Structure 1
């Protein structure tokens, strides 16, 4: 039985996944899932995190890296582990995602296992992972951080079909920090421009709205917009980009950084993560050094 800390900065709910991909004939298995990338980034940056996940007993080995980093994990029972396989075409932009299996969803009762957090993170992979009742009850416990990705991904015949989030108007009322990529933001709002999309999303209730793109990260707060660019000399791994961006922004806010500093910190951390496959491998000091070297002349202002 895992020893649960009485207090933790982030309690993260979501499925840790067994994944694989094939690109240009090369097959690669790897561990994934929103709480995997998010919790490792938080831990390496210096924030405390407790992960609550569901997976099959025989797949417990997927958690080794989290345990090695001292991350507390509670595994709730599931007959299956969420598992996905991606086949790429000529580029990373051409891909087909197959759903091999899906773990059981989370329930309101699962919140009883959550220690006293400053934030609860909700990281769905599919539309069925969490329901409105879970989100509403979680907000009674702590402010909610939501990565909306899974609420736009419906499993149809072992494939992912992108759909609108059915209960978005009600659900957004309970979300304090909201994150989407530019495609998901467009699905939810019908707006392709991130400034307009973030304006609509903010009007539905979320206080801080993050939108990631290939160029950088946008933040809308108090009806104003900030943008910080990614500064990358080489790209080695895109999987986990959004999770790392959200984790680093959350870490910055937990450390008392203002919105401008937090969005630059998130962009810099994500830039460093993009260099390599897998989760974040560096700490806070390296990020600050990268900011001094690469962002000193970057004018981050309200748009």
Structure 2
């Protein structure tokens, strides 16, 4: 059995991205892709369990093109997650997403627990239902659980993405070591627009360490103190994958670092990544140089 820092579970997206100026780019995407590449290129030992229609996409090649050190355990699905993102503003904060097809949901017996021993299981789905609720307590039997809550809030209805609250949140949040939301998702979960107050509510419901992303900063709460670090990207051409890069960077750094150090590294990582489209393909030295320059 091979040891890893993280096992990231989630479908690969086959994306068409239309920028606010009309530029069209076909790309591989998804939380597992941006998270896996970022963490692996920072020097962490990462395994990914991506699901797609393997007759349409060579997922192993897609990962290894951007992150040669990553270990890929591909799963086949009758359909891939196929989506179109239309960005309405230059800062990419507003977008309309349509979905043409979804994967068959993950099941607990698809996880190769006899091959992978990971400190963290990072649940990184893209839509409601693709990572069922029962995956959370199952994951907690094997590792610390990290989850990007978008996989519980974003649902595909009539080809579009809509957000609904997570009905089972109070039952399942106690299993979660690391919880990631963005500001809008935190408001859906808690009803609060104040990110620090929302983080405190989520901690009170059982999540141990909450990370909330915003276009100005990243916030972390551990039940004792609110920590923040500013985003310092010099341009936003690589906005897609911001939250995924931040979360993967943070949780893997937290295996060996305290919260302020891990938070600064993750925020610098995503600030640098946002300056270039696609997943982070730099090195830890690039991020350390960026910290010296910008922080």
TM-score by length of 2: 0.94
Which residue does 2:87 correspond to in 1? 88
CA distance in 2, matches of 1:27, 1:232: 23
Matched, 1:260 2:256: no
122-131 vs 109-118, which deviates more?
Answer: 109-118
Secondary structure, aligned partner of 2:122: strand
Which ranges of structure 2 fall in alignment gaps of 5 or more residues?
none
| Residue of 6, 10, 15 corresponding to 1:14 | 10
TM-score by length of 1: 0.92
Which residue does 1:104 correspond to in 2? 104
Say if 1:132 and 1:193 are closer, same or farther in 2 by CA, change over 3 A. same
1:200-230 Cα deviation digits (max 9, x unpaired): 0111111110000000100001331000001
Higher helix proportion (structure 1 or 2): 1
Which residue does 1:298 correspond to in 2? none
Check conservation: 1:237, 1:277, Cα contact below 8 A.
yes
CA distance in 2, matches of 1:289, 1:89: 33
Which residue does 1:301 correspond to in 2? none
Give 1:66 deviation, angstroms: 1.5
CA distance in 2, matches of 1:123, 1:233: 27
Where does structure 1 differ by over 4 angstroms across 4 or more consecutive aligned residues?
none
Which residue does 1:54 correspond to in 2? 51
Across the aligned residues of Structure 1 and Structure 2, the Cα RMSD in angstroms comes to 1.4
Check conservation: 1:12, 1:50, Cα contact below 8 A.
yes
Say if 1:90 and 1:208 are closer, same or farther in 2 by CA, change over 3 A. closer
Which residue does 1:251 correspond to in 2? 252
CA distance in 2, matches of 1:100, 1:148: 22
CA distance in 1, matches of 2:24, 2:100: 16
Check conservation: 2:200, 2:223, Cα contact below 8 A.
no
Secondary structure, aligned partner of 2:285: helix
| Residue of 19, 26, 31 corresponding to 1:29 | 26
Which ranges of structure 1 fall in alignment gaps of 5 or more residues?
296-303
Give 1:90 deviation, angstroms: 5.1
CA distance in 2, matches of 1:200, 1:41: 29
Say if 1:25 and 1:73 are closer, same or farther in 2 by CA, change over 3 A. same
Give the 5 Å matches for 1:49-198: 49-68=46-65, 69-89=68-88, 91=90, 92-113=92-113, 115-198=116-199
